[in-house]
Amino acid sequence: MKRRSFLKNSLALSAGSAAAVIAAPAVAQSQPSIRWRMTSSFPKSLDLTFGAGELFCRTVSEITEGRFQIQQFAAGEIVGGFQALDAVQNGTVEAAYTGALFYTGKDPAFALAAAAPFMMNTRQQHAWMYHAGGNEMLNEFFAKYNVLAFPCGQTGNQWGGWFRKEIRSLEDLSGLKMRVAGIAGNVMQKIGVIPQQIPPGDIYPAMERGTIDAVEYIGPYDDEKLGLSKVAKNYYFPGWGEGGTVFHAMINRDKWQELPKSYQAAITAASKAATLSMMASYDARNPEALFRLIAAGVQIRGFPNDVIDALHKATQELYAEISSRNATFKQILEAQTQFRDRNYNYHQVADYQFDTMMLRLRRRF
């Protein structure tokens, strides 16, 4: 009796196991094999920005067990760094890894998706985007360009830039040709700077040849990689133009709609992983790079107060001008400003006080 019961149970278990074995391939076979191309706005030499795109692609592949693969191409391999959005919009590629601030010439609202002068810091940006309706608001705007965008990288606060000569007053900026991205270039133009839009891979040659007099890029780690300390020795803070800079994975909307839900979820998860990794990488590497730059003779300088005040005044004037003719820009700016100000009300008695306390205590010992 017991023997018959044992055999019966064993056969039932075997049948269940066989069903599971049969079902597993069936599930796998129901997921299509998809191959996409993603163009980047960055050269391979910039391992954190190009590398964030690589991590994004690799994570998507791992989550889908290799069934959904995205291959990233460096700037210039398919299209130029500043043509990435166009390539996604018109379907030349399915995706792009890029910075929205590169496209302010199309619409200044793009800057608000990445970084805008005197606006939000890194934590405020992600809090607004993920938990205060920011991504939904931005994607309503991106839809005009047939793309869906996911935050997929964060540099943290960017520096104020490299200058051949010391900036002692506002007058020293007049007539300077400076590589500066996004809407910050429009602000600098209002105080006499001649802004230049130059892709990351072309910055060093332009500075070396004297085509430009100054350059703002990201921060110590990337700036060291680009060799900017070889062509300028004055490195300025604070990074008034980019309190934190978000990069995006931009997806062609038609291609997005064709994806299974599980593949869409893989993209969402991979973009968040890339964002966290980039933030942590810059926080780990920028301090060490700065020490090396100082050892190599770089002069770390703060912008004079009259320069910061003039830049802030010019920014507010520019925002008012753009808002008067661009309803989308006005809507996003107002949402961000309200969130930023309320957020600072909290952090002036939280994180800011903690950092101030620690800096004071550190100086004592």
pLDDT digits 0-9 by tens, 18-40: 444 444 454 455 789 999 999 99
Residues with Cβ within 8 Å of 162's Cβ and at least 6 positions away in sequence, in order, are: 207, 214, 215, 216, 223, 228, 229, 231, 232, 234, 235, 236
Q: Which two tokens stand for residue 309?
A: 């005040």
DSSP H or E run through 206? helix 203-209
Which among 318, 315, 293 has a CA at the least distance from the CA of 242?
315
Residues making up the chain, counted from first to last: 365
Residue-range domain boundaries for the chain: 32-155+244-284
Write down the pLDDT at residue 29.
55
* pLDDT value of position 288: 98
Select from 1.10.8.60, 3.40.190.170, 3.40.50.970, 3.30.1310.10 the CATH code of 32-155+244-284.
Answer: 3.40.190.170
Inter-residue contact 50 to 43 (CB < 8 Å):
yes
pLDDT of residue 207: 94
**Is the torsion defined by CA of 147, 148, 152, 155 positive or negative?**
positive
Compute the C-alpha angle 277/118/181, nearest 5°. Answer: 65
| Structure confidence at residue 365 (pLDDT) | 63
Low-confidence ranges of the chain (pLDDT < 50): 1-4, 6-24, 26-27
> DSSP letters of 27-54?
HHHHSPPEEEEEEESS-TT-TTHHHHHH
Angle at 123 between CA 119 and CA 124, to 5 degrees: 40
pLDDT, position 364: 73
Annotate 164-202 with b (16+ C-beta within 10 A) or e (fewer).
eeebeebeebeebebbbbbbbbbbbeeeebebbebbbbb
Map 116-164 to HEC letters: CCCCCCHHHHHHHHHHCCHHHHHHHHHHHHCEEEEEEEECCCCCCEEEC
User: pTM for this one?
Assistant: 0.89
Whether 172 and 166 have beta carbons less than 8 Å apart is answered as yes
**CA-based angle 249:250:252, to the nearest 5?**
140
Which of 281, 283, 245, 41 shows the shortest CA–CA distance to 158?
Answer: 245
